[in-house]
Amino acid sequence: MSAAAPSPAPRARPRKFAAGVAGTKPTLMKSPLALLAFAVPLTAVLGSATVASADDTIKHPGDHLTYSVEVEPHVLAGWDGIYDEGGLGLGGRFSIPIVQNGFVPSINNSVAISFGLDLVWYGGCYQYEDPGHCGAQYAQIPVAMQWNFWVAQRFSVFGEPGLVIYHGFLGGCDDMHANCVTPTVTGALPALWIGGRYHLSESTALTLRIGFPAISFGVSFFP
């Protein structure tokens, strides 16, 4: 009796950048250190809301920092659910004011165009049953309208509807999987962020941003 033919090696099954694959649900990174790293700045920035409640800056249109550009280097935490694990990265944003007195003339608000570049390294794997064989690196270009609300002398918040353009470098093919084909994924997705700044001075602030596709914490400079 002849021996049974060996089963063919499984082919790659790339997932899209968006966490829209059936059976997946975005959850924050499971690492306690990652959660701690973002809980500390979150507490510091949002804790300043107590000070904001006693400040009427929001009632004075135009009473805010005047600057030509906001430069914001930051660190990032990518959401789980895109791959088997979350991601960590580095990046930066540039925000250029276009309207000093924003859409609501009775309060202190302004509008800027925000864009940047982020590099995120994801753990886990998009193919095979063993997640240790591959990972992914993404270059992300966020573009957004930044609507700022200057709620206190040292505290401002913002919302950022926009989109993110991404290009993925998906690794992990090895000699154990002869039929593996590693794809490169490029595309664009709608994105939304909310965030806040704690202004250390007229030229420096701590900035926290929460949204999709990542959370960021950095330092903003207003030259």
Instruction: Please determine, for residue 178, whether its predicted confidence score (pLDDT) is greater than 90.
Output: no
Q: How many structural domains is the chain composed of? A: 1
Instruction: Please determine, for residue 206, whether its predicted confidence score (pLDDT) is greater than 80.
Output: yes
Higher per-residue pLDDT: 191 or 34: 191
Q: What is the pLDDT of residues 94-141, one digit of tens each?
A: 999 999 999 999 999 999 999 999 999 887 655 545 555 566 788 999
DSSP string, the chain: -PPPPPPPPPPP-PPPSSS-STT--------HHHHHHHHHHHHHHHHTHHHHTT--GGGSTT-S---S-EEEEEEEEEPTTSSSS-EEEEEEEEEEEEESS-S-TTS-EEEEEEEEEEEEEE-S-SSSS-GGG--EEEEEEEEEEEEEEEEETTEEEEEEEEEEEEEEEE----TT-TT----EEEEEEEEEEEEEEEESSSSEEEEEEEEESEEEEEEEE--
Q: What is the pLDDT of residues 65-96, one digit of tens each?
A: 999 999 999 999 988 655 556 789 999 999 99
Any domain includes 113: yes
Higher per-residue pLDDT: 33 or 90: 90
Any domain includes 180: yes
Any domain includes 148: no
Give the pLDDT score at 10. Answer: 39
Any domain includes 19: no
Give the pLDDT score at 184. Answer: 66
Give the pLDDT score at 26. Answer: 37
Q: What is the pLDDT of residues 143-177, one digit of tens each?
A: 999 999 999 999 999 999 999 999 987 765 555 55
**Domain range for 120:** 32-143+157-221
Any idea what the CATH number is for the domain that residue 76 is in? Answer: 2.40.160.20
Give the pLDDT score at 192. Answer: 94
Any domain includes 117: yes
> CA 162 → CA 88, 93, 143, 213, distances in Å?
22, 13, 6, 11
Any domain includes 40: yes
Confidence grade of residue 208 (pLDDT, cut at 50, 70, 90)? very high
Any domain includes 25: no
Any domain includes 149: no
